[in-house]
Structure 1
Amino acid sequence: MPIQHLLTTVDTHTEGEPTRIILAGFPFARGATMSERQQDVRERFDHLRRALMHEPRGHGDMFGALVMPPAHPEADLGVLFMDSGGYLNMCGHGVIGVVTAALQTGFISGLSRTRLILDTPAGLVRTQAWVAADGAVESVTFENVPSFLWRRDVTLLVDGRRLGVDIAFGGTFYAIVSADALGVSVVPRSVDQLAKAGVQLRECVNRELAVSHPEIPHIRGVTSVQIFEPPRHPEAAVRNVIVFGRGSVDRSPCGTGTCAKMAVLYARGELGLGQEFVHEGILGGVFRGRLLRETDVGGYQAVIPEVTGRAFITGFHQFVIDPADPYASGFLLGDAGSDEGERKHPPDRGSKELTVPP
């Protein structure tokens, strides 16, 4: 088989949540800013996102990061985040995975320091890696973009339930709701219920509210739902799960979700500057966060948060995209997948007609 398109990745997980980091083989993204490059990738190369995130190379809950030279002169690396459903402006667990992989594999040429600045569509993200004597990255701390409570105690009627919801920004917009209000528990066996409830709530929020960032016009709409309950981890303040994309469920405590939650607690007077906040994920892993200082975002009281977590490399891959493959751009099964896997069936080499098995 002549190989026509080869994509190289290093895969990591951050407290259980995967990040497929695309190092080579992806066409150059055009644009003067990371948000312009994100739009260019969406318009011209979305088939490659689907190929790497969807089956047979990925799955419905897959997550990815495309690395490239930064657009901002102050940054060390540009990053575009993606999942099975589309693109995200910022991702905390992805930042931790990218920095861990960069330092442990050396995919940034000549890198010798442990402080990196990432250029993302949400802005610059400053990071600090904590490295052991043997070179292993033990954890990564990132200083996130300004985070804020957009609206508190919004009442919505979803599937017959009246819900009280907070809308907050932590790099992307979240609808934050208690598990008790939804009648679910944040446990692995309830993942299908959590995903369904999260997607329903997100659709309702975006139908009823015109959520938008006051200073970054391209950031609008709630992309993720945070469902929380009392913690099980002895150090944690809250246990949570994030539903995003087509109903994907975050295995980690979620970095940007942790920032959004801290912004809500600060606005409510329940968390102070410099106070540690331990956030537990659905698998029991934790991120540690704190608020560094206050700021202002378009008239909203905002905070600069930082979050610390750990990631591990799980593998190195070279993926082939064969133009004769009827599933070259991937597919998803179930409700989330729709009929996407049937969009395009290129002709078989040497054949006049391609027969696709049921």
Structure 2
Amino acid sequence: MKIKTTYTTTDVHVAGEAYRIMKEAPLGYYQSLQEVNEQFPIIYEQEMKLLLNEPRGFAGLNGCLVVPPFKSGVDAAVVFFNHTGTVPMQYGGIVAVITALLESGQLKAKPSAEYNIETVSGVVTVWATIKDDEVKVVSLKSGPCKVVKNHVPISYLDLQTEVTFVQADHLYAIFDKVGLPFDMEIENLPEINQWGKKVIEALGEESHDFNRIILLDHSQLSSGRIKTVTFRPDRYIVRSPGFGTLAACGSYLLENGDIYSGRQIENEGIFNARLAGELFKKNECDYSFSFSARGFITGIQTYVLDPTDPLSEGFLLK
């Protein structure tokens, strides 16, 4: 085996969503994190393919590049990326990064438990509770979320329903599960996938913009619980209950008067992972939420690039 390049990464999952954190970046001089973000798809093209594509990665894997901060008073700077390029914000990525930095000793614990992470979307403040050298919980706040369109009728084949569009970290299309003939359980995944396929086709047929689709079951809302399945446009199911999903659903429920300010809700995904959040602030039509979650380090790996490998750029199966 010939070794051309090596990268050591830390893998962390947050409520089932996987993040691969790299700290060894190609050398270069940048004046701002925005410049790193803009140049990333070109300068880090090899790293994106090497670390996220199969056989080393998979279609749902998220990437985090940690670099020294550019702003004063900041503990670390992060660029988030996926298989196609950079992503402005990943709340789960923030939890993953602060967990990896603190538990590896690369970031010293503070008595205040408050840390600032620089992103292209701004500086994010998080609070990390540490016990027995483990990060037990990370708390953070969302950006503004807004209901864009409410109760938009959808008619496609035998599908007669309504959708609500909410702008959070993505533009979410939210569908109420009421009336659907299946429960949101893993054994019903074939039916859920078929529903997702039809809804994606319906939104495309009617030229609706969206980045994510949410199927929401709020039948247990009186107990402070909801259940969701979130689809990407390529029909891939997001593994985590999702910070953005929780914020979008919270905005939807608040807008409809189904919950009130300060009420904590817990979102359960189809794989039984859970995330908790509550309304933090309301400004006119915008909502902000506070979240709490925990990250778990799943491995520390060294990946190599063999120039003779015929699959050096990897592949993706979805």
Shorter-chain TM-score: what band? Answer: 0.7 to 0.9
Match of 1:14 in 2: 14
Unaligned runs of 5+ in 1: 212-221, 337-358
1:269 matches 2:239: no
User: By how many angstroms is 1:137 displaced?
Assistant: 1.0
- Greater shift in the superposed pair: 177-186 or 309-318: 177-186
1:252 matches 2:236: no
In structure 2, how many angstroms separate the alpha carbons of the residues matched to 1:144 and 1:159?
37
1:241 matches 2:229: yes
Match of 1:128 in 2: 127
Residue among 144, 147, 150 paired with 2:145: 147
- Greater shift in the superposed pair: 67-76 or 238-247: 67-76
1:317 matches 2:301: yes
Distance 1:157 1:98, change over 3 A: farther
1:161 matches 2:145: no
Distance 1:29 1:253, change over 3 A: farther
In structure 1, how many angstroms separate the alpha carbons of the residues matched to 2:38 and 2:201?
22
Distance 1:136 1:270, change over 3 A: same
Superposed counterparts of 1:10-159, under 5 Å: 10-25=10-25, 32-34=32-34, 36-73=35-72, 75-84=74-83, 86-108=85-107, 110=108, 112=110, 114-132=113-131, 134-158=132-156
Q: Is the 8 A contact 2:2 2:308 kept in 1?
A: no
User: By how many angstroms is 1:187 displaced?
Assistant: 2.3
Q: Is the 8 A contact 1:226 1:240 kept in 2?
A: yes
1:326 matches 2:314: no
Residue among 235, 251, 269 paired with 1:281: 269
In structure 2, how many angstroms separate the alpha carbons of the residues matched to 1:60 and 1:6?
22
Q: Is the 8 A contact 1:122 1:145 kept in 2?
A: no
Match of 1:348 in 2: none
Superposed counterparts of 1:183-194, under 5 Å: 185-191=183-189, 193-194=191-192
Residue among 159, 175, 185 paired with 2:173: 175
Distance 1:158 1:24, change over 3 A: farther
In structure 1, how many angstroms separate the alpha carbons of the residues matched to 2:265 and 2:115?
23
Q: Secondary structure of 1:249's match? A: coil
Amino acid corresponding to residue 122 of structure 1 in structure 2? S
Q: Secondary structure of 1:189's match? A: helix
Amino acid corresponding to residue 314 of structure 1 in structure 2? T
User: By how many angstroms is 1:166 displaced?
Assistant: 1.4
In structure 2, how many angstroms separate the alpha carbons of the residues matched to 1:233 and 1:11?
33
Measured on the aligned residues, the alpha-carbon RMSD in Å equals 3.0
User: By how many angstroms is 1:223 displaced?
Assistant: 2.0
**TM-score normalised over the length of structure 2:** 0.86
Q: Secondary structure of 1:94's match? A: helix
Q: 1:218-255, CA deviations, whole angstroms, 9 ceiling, x for partnerless residues?
A: xxxx3222222246799542101222264332232211
Q: Which has the higher contact order (CA 8 A, sep 6+)?
A: 2
In structure 1, how many angstroms separate the alpha carbons of the residues matched to 2:243 and 2:257?
21
Distance 1:102 1:167, change over 3 A: same
Amino acid corresponding to residue 304 of structure 1 in structure 2? S
Q: Secondary structure of 1:67's match? A: strand
1:291 matches 2:279: yes
User: By how many angstroms is 1:317 displaced?
Assistant: 0.7
Q: Is the 8 A contact 1:7 1:26 kept in 2?
A: no
Distance 1:180 1:137, change over 3 A: same
User: By how many angstroms is 1:182 displaced?
Assistant: 6.4
Match of 1:5 in 2: 5
Superposed counterparts of 1:221-232, under 5 Å: 222-230=210-218
Q: Secondary structure of 1:38's match? A: helix
Number of corresponding residues: 317
Percent identity over paired residues: 24
Q: 1:239-273, CA deviations, whole angstroms, 9 ceiling, x for partnerless residues?
A: 01222264332232211211111122222222322
Distance 1:173 1:124, change over 3 A: farther
User: By how many angstroms is 1:331 displaced?
Assistant: 0.5
Distance 1:257 1:328, change over 3 A: same
User: By how many angstroms is 1:140 displaced?
Assistant: 0.9
